């Protein structure tokens, strides 16, 4: 069976690129023929490893540009160029399954009449930044409003054979107006051989230093923790536009000796194994990879119950702790609870390392393979 992934850029170090590499490598090892169709050119090599059997196709489209940047104001013209180019490519490779990663142009591959089954996968929750819209889902008129808010996306995804989302919570938010929805979670990228001892007085957080991750909340929370438990430290690993602002806030609160921010690290196992608690204060997520990677190392997580992912990944009180969204006071209580109760900390960590195996590559990729086979056989 031939699978073609259509993605804007494959050279970044983001989650989409990471999962495309993991899934592609898995599929070629199972005998699938995998093609990666890259829309935007780059002189760089892919950040993640791809098996040599995977075939890359760079479209090198003649998009109208200004100072090297694509002028999306000419969207219809660019879209036509994209569809004409990829149609010719699909005539050559003849994919059985074509998958859009929801990028600006690939989400229109449903218009191609090449005979392949079309899948679109979304790596963010429906509401993403606009969390206030999600509250309207409780009401009939509210659901009409949220439908109109995402109407452009609805008008696209309804044409695909399957629309794959990452959580059942997200499926529910989309589902009233769609019949082609399917939930397939992100897989673990690694299953460690060792687990954290949970004896170090270190709390860790991972992620981009941006508005989404709300590390400013975490600094406010830690100001209280640092006063109560001065021998405990908070370590944040990440890069992003908020770095200077966050470091300035840490300094203004006299937390320089208690909070450290380091650049993102590729070997996350080394830092997770030295940690005792993981904390996540995100405003929104799609399906937080760092959360399941943390749990696989036996580190108990504490997370805001944001949309979407945390409440499906964490079984509150069993393998981690959930905090009402944006409630800093309760977050302080949860961290204090795990700091003061090392036995509970270790019980949660042990359960986390076992429960998270439901996201093992074999388990998740079996769902994808079953989906491919069901579509091709219909």
Domains, the chain, in order of start with CATH, read 2-187+360-376 (3.40.50.2000), 202-358 (3.40.50.2000)
pTM score: 0.86
For 134, half-sphere exposure in the C-beta direction (CA atoms, 13 angstrom radius) is 18
The model's pLDDT over 348-357, given as tens digits with 9 standing for 90+, comes to 999 999 999 9
Per-residue model confidence (pLDDT) at position 173:
83
Q: What is the pLDDT of residue 152?
A: 86
d(CA 121, CA 13): 18
| Arithmetic mean of pLDDT, 309-333 | 97
- pLDDT band, residue 307 (cuts 50/70/90): confident
CB 278 within 8 A of CB 288: no
Q: What is the pLDDT of residue 66?
A: 56
Which residue carries 């899948």 as its tokens? 119
Mean pLDDT of 63-92: 81
pLDDT attached to residue 104: 87
Contact 232, 335 (CB under 8 A): no
Query: Could you tell me the end-to-end alpha-carbon distance of the chain, in angstroms, rounded to an integer?
Result: 14
DSSP 369: H
Q: 244-257 b/e with 16+ CB inside 10 Å = b?
A: eebbebbeeeebee
User: Which tokens sit at 4?
Assistant: 């073609």
Q: Which of 20-34, 46-60, 86-100 has the lowest mean pLDDT?
A: 46-60
- Reading the block at residue 236, the tokens are 């944040």
Whether residue 65 is predicted with pLDDT greater than 90 in this model: the reply is: no
For helices 215-228 and 243-252, the axis angle rounded to 10 degrees is 30
Looking at residue 132, its pLDDT comes to 43
Q: Closest by alpha carbon to 275, among 361, 352, 184?
A: 352
pLDDT at residue number 56: 95
Q: Tell which phi-psi region holds residue 350, choosing left (phi > 0), alpha (psi between -120 and 50) or beta.
A: alpha
Contact 103, 123 (CB under 8 A): no
Note the helical H segments in the chain: 15-29, 75-93, 140-149, 151-157, 168-174, 215-228, 243-252, 268-272, 289-296, 310-313, 328-340, 342-355, 361-376
CA distance 301 to 278: 5
- What are the pLDDT digits (tens) for 106-158? 999 999 999 999 999 998 877 654 444 455 455 555 555 555 556 888 999 99
338 within 8 A of 277, measured Cβ to Cβ: yes
Summarize pLDDT for 85-117 with one digit per residue, the tens: 999 999 999 999 999 999 889 999 999 999 999
Angle at 212 between CA 296 and CA 163, to 5 degrees: 70
Looking at residue 320, the DSSP 8-state letter turns out to be B
Burial of 240 (0-12, 13-18, 19+ CB in 10 A): middle
Say if residues 282 and 258 touch (Cβ distance below 8 Å): no
Helix, strand and coil in the chain, % to nearest 5? 45, 15, 40
Which pLDDT score is estimated for 62?
72
Q: For residues 372 and 376, what is the distance between their CA atoms, to the nearest angstrom? A: 6
Are the beta carbons of 314 and 336 closer than 8 angstroms?
Answer: no
Q: What is the mean pLDDT of residues 352-377?
A: 97
pLDDT at 137: 53
Q: What is the mean pLDDT of the chain?
A: 90
Contact 38, 105 (CB under 8 A): no
Q: Which of 62-66, 94-98, 249-253, 328-332 has the lowest mean pLDDT?
A: 62-66
Name residue 119's beta-bridge partners: 99, 162
What percent of the chain stands above pLDDT 70?
A: 90
Q: Tens of pLDDT along 162-201? A: 999 999 999 988 877 799 999 999 999 888 999 999 999 9
């Amino acid at each position: 069976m031939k699978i073609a992934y259509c993605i804007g850029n494959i050279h970044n170090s983001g989650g989409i690129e990471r999962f495309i590499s993991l899934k592609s490598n898995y599929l070629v090892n199972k005998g699938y023929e995998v093609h990666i169709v890259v829309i935007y050119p780059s002189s760089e090599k892919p950040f993640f490893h791809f098996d040599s059997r995977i075939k890359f196709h760079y479209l090198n489209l003649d998009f109208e540009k200004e100072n090297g940047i694509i002028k999306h104001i000419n969207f219809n013209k660019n879209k036509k160029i994209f569809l004409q180019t990829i149609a010719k490519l699909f005539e050559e490779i003849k994919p059985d399954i074509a998958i859009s990663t929801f990028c600006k142009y690939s989400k229109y591959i449903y218009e191609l009449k090449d005979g392949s089954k079309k899948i679109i996968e979304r790596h963010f929750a429906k509401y993403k930044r606009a969390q206030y819209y999600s509250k309207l889902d409780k009401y009939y008129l509210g659901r009409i409003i949220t439908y109109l808010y995402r109407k452009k996306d609805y008008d696209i995804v309804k044409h695909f054979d399957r629309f794959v989302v990452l959580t059942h919570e997200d499926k529910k938010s989309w589902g009233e107006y769609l019949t082609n929805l399917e939930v397939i979670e992100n897989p673990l990228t690694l299953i460690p051989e060792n687990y954290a001892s949970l004896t170090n007085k270190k709390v860790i957080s991972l992620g981009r230093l941006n508005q989404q991750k709300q590390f400013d909340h975490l600094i406010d929370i830690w100001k209280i923790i640092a006063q109560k438990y001065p021998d405990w430290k908070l370590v944040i690993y990440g890069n992003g536009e908020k770095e200077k602002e966050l470091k300035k806030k840490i300094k203004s609160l006299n937390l320089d000796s208690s909070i450290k921010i380091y650049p993102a690290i590729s070997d996350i196992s080394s830092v997770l194994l030295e940690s005792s608690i993981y904390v996540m204060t995100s405003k929104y997520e799609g399906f937080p990879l760092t959360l399941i990677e943390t749990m696989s190392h036996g580190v108990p997580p504490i997370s805001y119950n944001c949309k979407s992912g945390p409440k499906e990944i964490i079984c509150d009180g069993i393998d981690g702790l959930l905090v009402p969204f944006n409630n800093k006071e309760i977050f302080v209580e949860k961290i204090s609870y795990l700091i003061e109760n090392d036995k509970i900390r270790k019980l949660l960590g042990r359960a986390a390392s076992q429960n998270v195996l439901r996201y093992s590559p074999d388990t998740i990729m079996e769902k994808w393979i079953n989906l491919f086979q069901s579509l091709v056989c219909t």
